[in-house]
Amino acid sequence: MRNHLKKLIQGHHLSFHEMKNVTLSCINNYTTESEIAALLTALQIKGETSDEIAGLVEVIRSRSLYNTTNVKNVMDNCGTGGDMSGSFNISTTSAFVIAGAGVPIAKHGNRSISSKTGSADVLETLGVSLFFTPAQVEESLDKNKIVFLFAPHVHDALRSFSKVRKDLGLPTIFNIIGPLINPVMLHSQFIGVYRKEKLEIVAQTLHKLGRKRAIVVNGANGMDEASLSGVNHLILLEDGKLKPFTLHPEEVGLPMYPNEEIQGGDAKKNAAIMKDVLQGNSSAYLDTVLLNAGLGLYAHGTASSIQQGVELANESVRSGKALACLLNLVDFSKKCTREVI
């Protein structure tokens, strides 16, 4: 480990295989917490490469028991975190809208690390289980189009890093890989990153991980979600090629709002915001979700354009299908709890 740390501190990159070996050392408890903290800090300062990200992701995913599903064309949507914006749970709310439009969503997430409320925190408050079995994941995806995969539950390999990440309380490579280590083999993905310079690296990594289609976005004013506050910078991965483009909300018929209009809070407040959005009540929160869900539907290929994606997202909400996906997942969670008891 020390040799690898010296290499990183000197500004050199680790190869794909070196990163796999470093990750295995951490997982197998051959390293100290101080060394893990030094590794995460050195990678953050140097700037992670797609090989380093892919090496870490491959090891973590390979240790999960949740990496198969018979459900086809599954996607995930997630921001990497780390933007310190204090926004509500945009991607988690958008996931139910995408699922309501008929796209299977394996929503992978965690508790709060560098934000106020993580996806696991808000969903747990709403009554969603964090501890589905592999068979239950399959059933929920098949019948309800959505399931939640709680990262620490589906990845034993994360335990070696969790305390250090919590103690640091800062963005690290794990903010980038959080959406990438979804153990389900995904067809497509929509990911937000908090730094524009990470767009191409994450898109390259998605290609290396076998995604058929994907969109990576850096939102206006540095958000890790698409924002209504101005111009968003994006990259579309399609047919193995990366296509950069920009998007202003007015191009798809949505109004502008400053990011301060979509502030969240604790899990209870964010749960209330989520239900309010899924009930179709007009607000900056709803319009932000329509933009992000629309982009997700376009990333999946269900929508042939972002404009059509926003329209499908709006229909998912207005028809009640998005809210039904949440209520059905809560009911399914209760059923699973009773089965365990």
Question: Is 201 marked as a binding-site residue?
Answer: no
The neighbouring-strand residues paired with 233 are 218, 246
- Structure confidence at residue 340 as a pLDDT band (50, 70, 90): low
The model's pTM is 0.92
Question: Is 41 marked as a binding-site residue?
Answer: no
Question: Is 90 marked as a binding-site residue?
Answer: yes
Sheet holding 188-192, edge to edge: 146-150, 105-109, 75-79, 188-192, 213-218, 232-238, 241-247
What gap in Å lies between CA 9 and CA 107, rounded to an integer?
Answer: 35
Class of domain 75-155+184-331: alpha beta
Question: Is 109 marked as a binding-site residue?
Answer: yes
Question: Is 62 marked as a binding-site residue?
Answer: no
Question: pLDDT digit string (tens) for 168-190?
Answer: 888 889 888 888 999 999 999 99
Question: Is 115 marked as a binding-site residue?
Answer: yes
Question: Is 165 marked as a binding-site residue?
Answer: yes
Domain boundaries, the chain: 75-155+184-331
- For 287, other C-beta atoms within 10 Å of its C-beta total 22
Check residue 56 and report its DSSP letter: H
Classify strands 241-247 and 232-238 as parallel, antiparallel or unpaired.
antiparallel
User: Among residues 186, 145, 146, which one has the least CA distance to residue 57?
Assistant: 186
Question: Is 60 marked as a binding-site residue?
Answer: no
Question: Is 119 marked as a binding-site residue?
Answer: yes
Question: Is 191 marked as a binding-site residue?
Answer: no
What gap in Å lies between CA 109 and CA 148, rounded to an integer?
Answer: 7
Classify strands 75-79 and 188-192 as parallel, antiparallel or unpaired.
parallel
Question: Is 114 marked as a binding-site residue?
Answer: yes
Question: pLDDT digit string (tens) for 23-81?
Answer: 999 999 999 999 999 999 999 999 999 999 999 999 999 999 898 889 999 999 988 87
User: Among residues 154, 177, 191, which one has the least CA distance to residue 68?
Assistant: 154
